[in-house]
Amino acid sequence: MSLYGTMRTGVSGMNAQANRLSTVADNIANSSTVGYKKASTQFSSMILPSGNGSYNSGGVNTTVRYSISDQGAFTYTTSATDLAINGEGFFIVGGADGSNYLTRAGNFEVQPDGSLTNAAGFTLMGYPYSSTTDPTIVINGFDGLEEVNVQAGGMNSTPSKAGVVTGNLPSGETAGTYTKSSSLVAYDSQGNSRLLDLAFSKTADNEWSLAVSYKDDAGTVHPLGSYALEFDAAGKLVVPAGGTISTAGLTIAGAELSPLDIDLSDMSQLGSPYSVEGNIDGRAASAVDTVEISKDGIVSILYKNGQSMPAYRIAMANVQSPNNLTPREGNVYSQSNDSGVIVMGYAGNSGYGSILSKALEDSNVDIAGELTSMIESQRNYTANSKVFQTGSELLETLVNLKR
C-alpha cells in the first residue's frame, strides 16, 4: 500500500465532497429562481491495479447531473406576460449575443420597445401570427423566429366596411310629408369617427326612400347614396333584393371613408312608431392597452378601444434528452452532443405542454433535501481529511525511522 496513494485518495474524496457542496450551494442560492433546475453530484469509483498482496487505493470521480426534465410547482400571478409551461418543452429566447437559447424561466415583462424580456435579460421569440395557417417552422432550427413585440403596431384603427340597420317605419304616416332621420357612426381609414345621417321619407303606400349623407365641419352635406325601399302587404322589406344597400366612398381631409354595405333586411313597415337602430363596424384609433396569451401560445394585443389583434405565436422547442442540455448563464440551455437535436413545435401539440398565462414555474429545488446533502458532505469531507491526516502522520513516522 502506498501512503502517498492513501493521501491522494483522501484528497480525491475531499475534492468530490467539495464539488457536491458546490452544487448544493448553487441549488440553495437559486431555490427562488423562476424555472431553475437543480444540479446534483454523482460519484463513481476509480480503481487502480493491485497485486502481490498490496492494495493500491484509487479514488472517486464526480459528474454533475441536472434535473432539467423535472417540472416544478406553479405560482400564480396577476401579470399576463408571466408564463409557465405545463408539460414538456422550452421557451425560445434570444440573448444579447444574438444567439437563441432554451429556458423554462417565463417571468417576462414588456419593455419600452415592446419586447418581452425575462429577469435574466433574454427576449421571448415567436412567429408572426396568421389566422389562416400555422406559420411554417424549421423543425430543427431557429430560422424564421422573431422577437415577440406587443407594441410593433403602435396605434391601431379599423376602417368601417359594413353595418346593420334594423327597426320599424310607421305604415300609418302620410306619403309625401313624413320624413324621419337617424344617425350612425362610421370610421375612416385614419380612425376618425364620421357621423352618417340616414333620412327615411315615405313616398307612397308601402314605399319609402332612404338618403345616406355626411355633413362635414363646414356644414357641407355630401350625399353617399339614395335608395328606394318597398314593403309587401305584411310589412316585410322586398326591395332592395337581399335587403342590402351599398353607399359611395368619400375622401374626407385626406382620409378615406370606404363604401359601406348596410344590411336592411330586418327592417319592417308596421303600424307602430318610428324606431330605427343600427351599428357599423370599425374601430377608432387607439393605443395598446394590454396583452393576452392563450394556452396554445397565441399572443394577442388588446387595444383600449376593445379591439383584439393576434400578433404572434410563441414557438417552443424540445430535445430527446433534456437532462443533457448544456446550462448557460441566465438560467438558459443550449444543445449539446448528448442532448439530441432541437425540435421545434407549438404549445399543445404532441410532445409539447400548454402555456399558462399569469403563472410561473418554481425552482424544483427541495431545500430540506439540500440541507441534508450539505450535512452529509460536511461529514464526509471531514472523514476524508482524517484519511489524509492519518496518511501524513504515518509518512512522518516512516521518515523519522532514519533518525
Map out the domains of the chain as residue ranges: 3-67+365-402, 73-155+287-362, 157-285
Q: Please give the Cα distance from 374 to 27 (Å, whole number).
A: 11
Cβ neighbours for 114, distance < 8 A, ≥ 6 positions apart: 149, 150, 151, 152
Question: What pLDDT does 139 receive?
Answer: 64
| Mean pLDDT for back-to-back runs of 10 residues, the chain (403 residues) | 78 92 96 95 83 75 94 95 96 95 96 93 92 64 88 78 97 95 95 96 97 95 97 96 95 96 97 96 84 93 84 93 95 94 89 95 96 95 90 82 71
Q: Please give the Cα distance from 107 to 125 (Å, whole number).
A: 14
H/E stretch holding 65? strand 59-66
Predicted TM-score (pTM) of the model is 0.71
Q: Please give the Cα distance from 190 to 285 (Å, whole number).
A: 7
Question: What pLDDT does 142 receive?
Answer: 84
Cβ atoms of 60 and 46 closer than 8 Å: yes
Cβ neighbours for 47, distance < 8 A, ≥ 6 positions apart: 58
Question: What pLDDT does 51 receive?
Answer: 67
**Beta sheet of 193-204, edge-to-edge order:** 179-187, 193-204, 207-215, 221-231, 237-239
Question: Is 157-285 a CATH 2.60.98.20 domain?
Answer: yes
Question: What pLDDT does 308 receive?
Answer: 84
Question: What pLDDT does 143 receive?
Answer: 83
Report residue 64 as a C-alpha cell: 454533475
